[in-house]
């Protein structure tokens, strides 16, 4: 009966993008992941591979991670052609090896977008998203201490809408999935979140203009309604926020 407690292990073939720096030529290299169980997360699987590489005196695979709880969005990888591995509402750190089977070949790449230059291996520079936020993703209202719950009346509909938009973690999967490398879903979520609340309406015109200008300066492409962004988003951000972004931009131009 003791065999029931033993985990069956897998051996996997990994085809990984390796690149020493932004100005270096990159290439795919092949590695073997041994002793992997269905209970390993994808990042834990890479940890095992890196430990083996270090023991062999080779350079470990560089990849981004932080919380490993699907909150921070830094574990940005394209797995078998799909950002975050293609599992619905799942980041790479939440992707478990039970999705794969023994003998599988897995292709692992960094985000591919003009606005996200590769720094090393699977790590890209996503600071372009930060520059969009810096351009206008805030309010200048002095909030002070926590106000009474009914001091600023906000309808449940508006609050729910803003919370849905605020769920965006800024991972950049929408950019990586878009054929044009657009950041419209990210920017749309950030603009919509504030546009739905009274605190964000005072600076609405300046905000949408500044954020769209920053988006263009960073080299992101334009939206042509492929909807790949919504499909790839680990938090399920809806393309309705792109429509809201367009409406806010038109209002800013007209008034």
pLDDT at 227 over 80: yes
Q: Based on the domain organization, do 166 and 181 belong to the same domain?
A: yes
Looking at the structure, tell me whether residues 240 and 131 fall in a common domain: yes
82 and 191 both lie in a single domain: no
Q: Which two tokens stand for residue 176?
A: 């990586």
- What pLDDT does 5 receive? 46
Mean pLDDT of 31-56: 97
* 114 and 162 inside one domain: no
- Assess contact for 21 and 121: CB atoms under 8 A: no
Give the tokens for residue 229: 């962004």
Shared-domain flag, residues 30 and 68: yes
Do 130 and 115 fall into the same domain?
no
Q: Record the pTM.
A: 0.91
Tokens found for residue 187 = 């920017």
pLDDT given for residue 149 in this prediction: 62
* Assigned domain for 149 exists: no
Domain check: are 103 and 209 in the same one? no
Domain that holds residue 248: 126-139+154-254
CATH code: domain of residue 22: 3.10.20.30
Q: Is pLDDT at 1 greater than 50 in this prediction? A: no
Look at residue 180 and tell me if it is in a domain: yes
Whether 147 maps to a domain, the answer reads: no
- pLDDT tens for 109-161 read 999 999 999 999 999 999 999 999 999 998 887 766 766 666 778 899 999 99
| Mean confidence (pLDDT) of the chain | 93
- Tell me: the pLDDT tens digits for 24-33? 999 999 999 9
Judgement on whether residues 10 and 106 belong to the same structural domain of the protein: yes
- Measured at the CA of 221, the angle between CA 216 and CA 226, to 5 degrees, comes to 140
d(C-alpha 194, C-alpha 236), whole Å: 19
């Amino acid at each position: 009966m003791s065999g029931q407690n033993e985990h069956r292990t897998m051996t996997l073939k990994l085809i990984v993008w390796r690149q020493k720096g932004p100005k270096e030529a990159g290439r795919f290299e092949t590695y073997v992941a041994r002793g992997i169980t269905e209970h390993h997360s994808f990042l834990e699987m890479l940890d095992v591979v890196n430990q083996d590489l270090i023991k062999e005196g080779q350079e470990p695979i560089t990849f981004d991670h932080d919380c490993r709880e699907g909150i921070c969005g830094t574990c940005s990888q394209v797995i078998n052609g799909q950002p975050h591995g293609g599992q619905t509402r799942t980041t790479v750190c939440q992707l478990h090896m039970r999705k794969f089977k023994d003998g599988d070949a897995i292709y692992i790449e960094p985000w591919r977008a003009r606005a996200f230059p590769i720094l090393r291996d699977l790590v890209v520079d996503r600071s372009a998203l930060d520059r969009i936020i810096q351009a206008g993703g805030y309010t200048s209202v002095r909030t002070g201490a926590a106000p009474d719950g009914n001091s600023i009346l906000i309808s449940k509909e508006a609050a729910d809408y803003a919370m849905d938009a605020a769920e965006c973690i800024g991972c950049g999967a929408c950019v990586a999935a878009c054929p044009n490398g657009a950041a419209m879903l990210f920017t749309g979520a950030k603009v919509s979140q504030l546009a739905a609340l009274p605190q964000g309406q005072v600076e609405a015109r300046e905000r949408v203009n500044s954020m769209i200008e920053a988006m263009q300066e960073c080299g992101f492409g334009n939206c042509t309604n492929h909807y790949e962004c919504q499909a790839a988003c680990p938090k399920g951000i809806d393309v309705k926020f792109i429509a809201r972004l367009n409406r806010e931009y038109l209002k800013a131009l007209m008034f």
